């Protein structure tokens, strides 16, 4: 599904160069829930941003369904992203001025084959899938943290992506909400998606098919 080959990443600023990933290789498959662990600063967010075509890297390749996407233009990458990926990032806030269903509709605007009524209908359906029936017209500030996270998941699913990338999706949630989110992510992997979750949270490990650890600039099976 998504494969990285010999990927290396260094951050450079004026004072220093920080090498985060060094010749990393891994193939992520469909139908699986991956949990990526590692110390703070190990490079988990860096890896997930590279996988999501959000961050450039220094050398190596990324292949999505055997197609090398590393040398696509920014515009081609953003089309690829919109079509293939769903993102559930803590830093990817919901738009506070939009109702829940409007947030979920956002990624659908790039798909010109459907009209607004169809987008809205789809948004309502996705919200009911994450158990947010009757919250469709709430603004983010009128939702709990767990509910907001579920809106973010519904939005991530808007274009029916094959790959779901989640960075600490349960970080701010209590046990009940965390388990709810994990069940949704697990279900998506069983439906055939490749779900990759970065987490310090031991609860996530229990749900994962494969636990990966980033350590010493490499990915290892934990």
Ligand X SMILES: Nc1ncnc2c1ncn2[C@@H]1O[C@H](COP(=O)(O)OP(=O)(O)OP(=O)(O)O)[C@@H](O)[C@H]1O
Site membership for ligand X, residue 56 (CB under 6 A): no
Site membership for ligand X, residue 44 (CB under 6 A): yes
The piece of 43-51, 63-71, 100-108, 156-164 that touches ligand X (CB under 6 A) is: 43-51
Nearer to ligand X, 49 or 136 (CB): 49
**Residue 135 contact, options Mg ion, ligand X, none, Cβ 5-8 Å cut-off depending on partner type:** none
Calpha distance 99→213 (Å, rounded): 37
Site membership for Mg ion, residue 103 (CB under 5 A): no
Site membership for Mg ion, residue 170 (CB under 5 A): no
For residues 156 to 185, the per-residue mask of contacts with ligand X, x marking binding by CB under 6 A and - elsewhere, is: ------------------------------
Phi-psi region of 70 (alpha: psi -120 to 50; beta: other; left: phi over 0): alpha
Site membership for Mg ion, residue 45 (CB under 5 A): yes
Please report, as ranges, the residues that interact with ligand X according to CB under 6 A: 11, 13, 18, 20, 38, 40-46
């Amino acid at each position: 599904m998504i494969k990285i080959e010999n990927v290396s990443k260094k951050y450079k600023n004026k004072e220093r160069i920080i090498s985060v990933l060094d010749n990393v290789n891994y193939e992520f498959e469909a139908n699986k829930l991956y949990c990526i662990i590692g110390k703070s600063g190990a490079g988990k967010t860096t890896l997930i941003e590279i996988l999501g075509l959000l961050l450039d890297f220094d050398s190596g390749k990324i292949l999505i369904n055997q197609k090398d996407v590393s040398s696509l233009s920014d515009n081609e990458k953003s089309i690829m992203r919109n079509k293939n990926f769903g993102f559930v990032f803590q830093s990817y806030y919901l738009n506070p001025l939009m109702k829940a269903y409007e947030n979920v509709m956002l990624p659908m605007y790039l798909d010109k084959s459907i009209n607004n009524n169809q987008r809205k209908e789809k948004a309502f359906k996705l919200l009911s899938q994450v158990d947010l029936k009757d919250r469709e017209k709430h603004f983010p500030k009128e939702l709990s943290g767990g509910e907001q996270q579920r809106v973010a998941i519904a939005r991530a699913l808007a274009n029916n992506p094959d790959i779901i990338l989640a960075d600490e999706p349960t970080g701010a949630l209590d046990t009940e909400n965390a388990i709810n989110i994990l069940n949704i992510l697990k279900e998506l992997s069983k439906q055939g998606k490749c779900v990759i979750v970065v987490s310090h949270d031991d609860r996530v490990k229990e749900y994962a098919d494969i636990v990966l650890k980033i350590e010493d600039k490499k990915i290892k099976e934990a």
